[in-house]
Amino acid sequence: MNNNEQERALSLSTSDIIPFTLMHDPYDDALSSASRAANRAFGHDVFATYRASCRPNTLLRHGYDLRAFSAFLASFGVQRPAEALSSDPMAWRGMTYGMLAAFRRWLEEKGEAIGTIKARVATIHQYCKLAGPPPQGAGVLDGLELSAILNVKGYTGKIARNLDQERTRQGIPTRIGRKKATFTPITSQQAEKLKRTTMPSPPPQRIPRDHDQLLAARDSLMFCLFIEHALRCSELVALDIESIDLGRHRLSIYSEKTHTHNVHRLQEHAEAAAQVYLGQLSRSSGPLFEGYSGRRITTRAINKRVGLIGELLGFQERRLSPHDLRHFFTFDALEHGLSLDQVQAIGGWTSPYMPLLYAKRSVVREWKIERER
């Protein structure tokens, strides 16, 4: 290459490089700025995206737990509203494992149940993960701090029992409110009596309304559906009149908890009670059970009604709940030879884990050791 060719090559290279350099600086700044803005937006989206995937009952529970954490922080002057903790990752800035351990201790001293403490710690874990390192989190908490926070856990097994025994010795409650530590056992005779109940509410100090006349038939059907079909309270609430097909002897069930549909053949008492109840209804569609307002009955109202009737029928020491009736079905079914997969299908469980727990509790172990004489 002669001198003229070298000069032309050099001039071409220089003329190409300089504009190329000038073009890249503004693009890099623009992309960097946009990326930082996207990261900030993503931080908020992590919370919104997660909460959009949760069931209403889960969000309700998170609300209780975050309000408790907010009250704990407020007790020593730190203001973090539950609404901010549930939506703004920056509300978690400064969170440490020591703070979670102090919150757990605060719950213990207040007398919260072991299960409540465990659930509230798990909720804090979840929102700290959302505030943790990207891309799963918003980047407010670093990985080391998040790892330490996740190592502060609720109590289980022997440790939980020891904690409750120690709280009892110190005069600290081990449970707040009316929720029971364990289910209320029901005998077969009591279950039969509940299915046949026609006990109305006490006579009102007013002119009886049509709704009052339905209570006896409604209560009988309600108990039959709980005892013979193992319905969850939320599943009973979701039933429509169309869910019962007397002609085909079928009950169609939707479970919000598992987002599944299930079809049962109506059992004897449930079908008889349904015929009586539907025969008295002046409607042919809509919610199967309504409250006084004409709207779909609530789980709260059903829990209250089951507890009231249980008390009138002898369950006074331990309050009766709808879930106790589901417990009874499962134990009774296993005791009378239904297979685990049948019990799982009827109860609407998505895995055999819960039926297996019931099976372990219901087994009566018998043996005889033959000894040589």
Long-range CB contacts (< 8 A, 24+ apart) of 355-359?
355/330, 358/327, 358/330, 358/331, 358/334, 359/334
Lowest pLDDT segment from 2-6, 172-176, 196-200, 316-320: 2-6
The CA distance from 212 to 144, in Å, is 61
pTM over 0.75: no
Per-position b or e across 293-321, b if 16+ CB within 10 A of its CB: eeebbeeeebbebbbbbbeeeebeeebbb
pLDDT digits (tens, 9 = 90+) for 104-154: 999 999 999 999 999 999 999 999 999 999 888 999 999 999 999 999 999
In this predicted structure, the answer to whether residue 182 has a pLDDT above a threshold of 80 is no
Structure tokens at 174: 């081990």
Give the bridge partners for 263, in sequence order. Answer: 252
Start-end of H helices in the chain: 3-52, 56-74, 82-85, 97-110, 114-130, 143-150, 157-169, 188-195, 210-229, 233-238, 268-280, 299-312, 322-335, 340-347, 353-362
- The count of residues in the chain is 373
Measured in degrees and rounded to the nearest 5, phi and psi for residue 2 equal: -80, 175
Structure tokens at 189: 């005779």
pLDDT of residue 97: 97
CB 240 within 8 A of CB 288: yes
Residue with the two structure tokens 């020591």: 98
pLDDT digits (tens, 9 = 90+) for 33-61: 888 777 776 666 899 999 999 988 899 99
Question: What's the pLDDT band for 25 if we cut at 50, 70, 90?
Answer: low
pLDDT digits (tens, 9 = 90+) for 188-238: 888 888 887 654 445 555 555 555 667 788 999 999 999 999 999 999 999
DSSP code for 89: G
